[in-house]
Structure 1
């Protein structure tokens, strides 16, 4: 039995995982899905990691799954706990000393997103539309639940540099979403290669695949957990 530690992204909460968590529990695993203090202006990345570490407690056999902005928090958790596997799910990948606020320009995200919008016939710029960017492939009833549970995201964790000097020494998988309108697939392929030195795995679906394709996501996570991991070099940034 493993313990899946599911970390949600910005402006979200543990409900994001409410369809995936029971699927993993049905396979005999423990699941920890804490609520990060997204709307607390006194909380930064260190405090986010504290919440996760406290929620894990003394559990072992940890598989940490980081969605979106949780890519900045999950490695801090891996630096403090013994983690068997880290799965980056449509996740931001930090470099040492880089703040989440600087990540967007440093990675060329805006250009990549504008190019995707142009290819798919969506206007660039203007007001951010959550439904268009995040919920386009989520079932209507689930999308309504997501809209009703959104939280304000404090800017505090975007301000300070990511504190690690290198990627933690833990096996890492990177799963991108081919229909992601926030983090375009080609952009994420490059990010995984350039910053982690690994080839990204891929699945269909938009940015919120835990809501749109929970069964397939649970299957992917289980496949990663069971994967034969002979000694190999670890990703380093």
Structure 2
């Protein structure tokens, strides 16, 4: 049995992962879905890391998964605990010393135009989940956005990248390039929007579990 540390993205909460976590438990694993302290204006990436590590407690055989902006926290957790595996899911892959605010320009991100937030992020998510997600959304008021990423390097653990082909926020082409240039790997792919965690949770969970047997 592995424990999956599922880290949410910007403005989100652990709820974003609740369907994936449920499927992981059905498959015989454990999952933790902590809420990062994003509403605390003093909170840094180290505080985010502390929050995830505390949620894991004494868990062993941990897979650390970062969705979107959670990619800035996930490698720090993986390094701290000696994770079995690190997975970026539609994730922002940081570089040493790079503040999150600089990532966008550094990787050549281009914001899509003419789309509503739902069209951009959640176009395949059931309406009831879109509504619940809006109720659970939180302001990202924390201090990390201008903070240089504190890792000396990405952790020396097996690493995978999973992109969503229908993502209108982080396009598939962008994610393929970031995985190749920053991780030196070919990203794996599933259909779905930026938050396919909510539209295709079983597929996401099953793909994460498949990585356990792939090293």
TM-score (norm 1): 0.88
Cα RMSD, aligned residues only? 1.2
Cα offset, 1:63, TM superposition: 0.8
- Give unpaired runs (5+ residues) of structure 2: none
Does the aligned pair in 2 maintain the 1:53–1:81 contact within 8 Å?
Answer: yes
Residue 220, structure 1, aligned to residue 207, structure 2: yes
In structure 1, how many angstroms separate the alpha carbons of the residues matched to 2:60 and 2:53?
A: 12
Equivalent runs, 1:34-53 vs 2, <5 Å = 34-53=34-53
Does the aligned pair in 1 maintain the 2:97–2:149 contact within 8 Å?
Answer: yes
- Give unpaired runs (5+ residues) of structure 1: 118-122, 230-237
Cα offset, 1:129, TM superposition: 3.1
In structure 2, how many angstroms separate the alpha carbons of the residues matched to 1:131 and 1:13?
A: 17
Match of 1:202 in 2: 189
* 1:194-237 superposed Cα distances (whole Å, 9 cap, x missing partner): 0110000011001001101001111101111121x3xxxxxxxx
Match of 1:101 in 2: 101
Residue 83, structure 1, aligned to residue 83, structure 2: yes
Residues 155 and 38 of structure 1: CA distance in aligned 2, closer, same or farther (over 3 Å): closer
Deviation >6 Å, runs of 4+: none
Does the aligned pair in 2 maintain the 1:174–1:200 contact within 8 Å?
Answer: yes
Cα offset, 1:56, TM superposition: 0.8
Match of 1:186 in 2: 173
TM-score (norm 2): 0.97
**Rg bigger for which structure?**
1
Does the aligned pair in 1 maintain the 2:43–2:142 contact within 8 Å?
Answer: no
